[in-house]
Amino acid sequence: MHQALWGARAGALSRRRFLAGAGTVAAWARTRTLVHGAEKAAKPPELAWVRTNESLQLNFGPRPVARYQLTKPANGGASVESGCYFHPVHSPAGTLVTDVGPEDHRHHRGVFMGWVEVNGPAKGDFWGWGEPAPTANRRIVNRSMEPTPPIFGSARFRALNEWVADSKVLLKEELRVVTGLNDGATLINLSMQFTVDAPVKLGRWAFGGFAVRTRKDGELVAVNEAGTVKLAAPKHTDPNSNWPDATWYGLHLKLADGKEATVAVANRPSNPKTTWHVVSSIGLINPCITAPTEVEILPDKPLVLRYRVMVCDGAPKVDLLNRLAAAG
């Protein structure tokens, strides 16, 4: 009887020890999970691509930096049929600075390309204005996209786009982009090469080509390397009214929600002769190579363009923008 009682007591003790040990293991596991979670939470955010059928987006941790729209979105978007533009683009602090399909100009679309009058085997308006050339069945179409993993604070991709009028390919565009966060700014560096199978002429217009359309809910002030720009706004019907060339022009956005950001575009000396169609009342920054003269692209003479988009938080940091614009 004593032996049976002892065996029962020993069994109960063993069970208590087992349960106590299991509780300790569980507690240790919970502690490890919490520590591991803290380690994960403390890990600094990194740049990463997020790819869908419609777009390629660069994120910094959970926060979006910039999205390249491959096709026109299924819902919303601009009035044109094209994809191949950047929107949304954010400042380093996360302020949205671009706009797409605004009520005043439904064809504007973030950071985009689109000449008003492309004359070749067919004629097309890829800007979306619709007066000098047709816009129907005129599309910039992405044919391939090759992103590379982000490294050292920047990310790259190569895209091949075709500018199609009905069934005719007027322009073949090879786009190379380096984008990311650097020195307190969101940067988008673009290099574009346009090739043709038959001669193409870009008609002379005061606007068109590479452009940035910003938000305009608030006050917008034009700036450049010398500070605030006090020139009269250009007229869209008069190429001679454009502003003279400069290293960069930008807009200081004092937004309705109280946030401030500066969006600027740097030109490159290797680009064709350029004047600028900057209209603060609509949030447009447009270095225009067709304002000085029409531009011809030949099969043995591609057109190469390079620009840098710079976005900073707050009021214009002119010294920073000068430095970033001058960098290679």
**DSSP result, 187-255:** EEEEEEEEE-SS-EEEPP-SS-EEEEEB--SEEEEEEETTEE--PPPPPTT-GGGSBPP-SEEEEEEEE
Dihedral-angle region of residue 101 (phi above 0 means left; psi in -120 to 50 means alpha; beta otherwise)? left
Based on the fold, state whether residues 31 and 125 are members of the same structural domain.
no
Based on the fold, state whether residues 245 and 189 are members of the same structural domain.
yes
Based on the fold, state whether residues 157 and 33 are members of the same structural domain.
no
| DSSP-derived 3-state class of residue 79 | coil
Based on the fold, state whether residues 191 and 237 are members of the same structural domain.
yes
Q: Considering only CA atoms, which of 67, 107, 69, 321 is closest in space to residue 207?
A: 107
The pLDDT tens digits of the residues spanning 10-44 come to: 444 444 433 334 343 344 344 444 445 544 556 78
Based on the fold, state whether residues 26 and 66 are members of the same structural domain.
no
Q: Give dist(CA 323, CA 40) in Å, integer.
A: 35
Q: Considering only CA atoms, which of 117, 301, 86, 286 is closest in space to residue 193?
A: 301
Q: Give dist(CA 167, CA 122) in Å, integer.
A: 9
The pLDDT tens digits of the residues spanning 164-200 come to: 999 999 999 999 999 999 999 999 999 999 999 999 9
Kindly report the CATH number assigned to the domain that includes residue 52: 2.70.98
The pLDDT tens digits of the residues spanning 99-108 come to: 999 999 999 9
Based on the fold, state whether residues 6 and 137 are members of the same structural domain.
no
Q: Considering only CA atoms, which of 114, 295, 120 is closest in space to residue 199?
A: 120
CA-based diameter of the chain, in Å? 114
Whole-number pLDDT of residue 42: 61
Q: Cβ contacts of residue 111 below 8 Å, gap of 6+?
A: 85, 86, 87, 89, 98, 188, 211, 212, 213, 309
List 154's β-bridge partners, or say none: 151, 180
| DSSP-derived 3-state class of residue 302 | coil
Whole-number pLDDT of residue 76: 85
Q: Considering only CA atoms, which of 60, 57, 83, 80 is closest in space to residue 70?
A: 83
Q: Cβ contacts of residue 179 below 8 Å, gap of 6+?
A: 58, 65, 66, 154, 155, 156, 186, 187, 188, 189
Domain that includes residue 160, residue range: 47-326
- Please tell me the chain's helix, strand, coil percentages from 3-state DSSP, rounded to the nearest 5: 15, 45, 40
Whole-number pLDDT of residue 75: 87
Q: Give dist(CA 227, CA 222) in Å, integer.
A: 9
Dihedral-angle region of residue 208 (phi above 0 means left; psi in -120 to 50 means alpha; beta otherwise)? left
Based on the fold, state whether residues 261 and 284 are members of the same structural domain.
yes
Based on the fold, state whether residues 141 and 23 are members of the same structural domain.
no
Domains contained in the chain, number: 2
Q: Which residues of the chain have pLDDT under 70?
A: 1-42
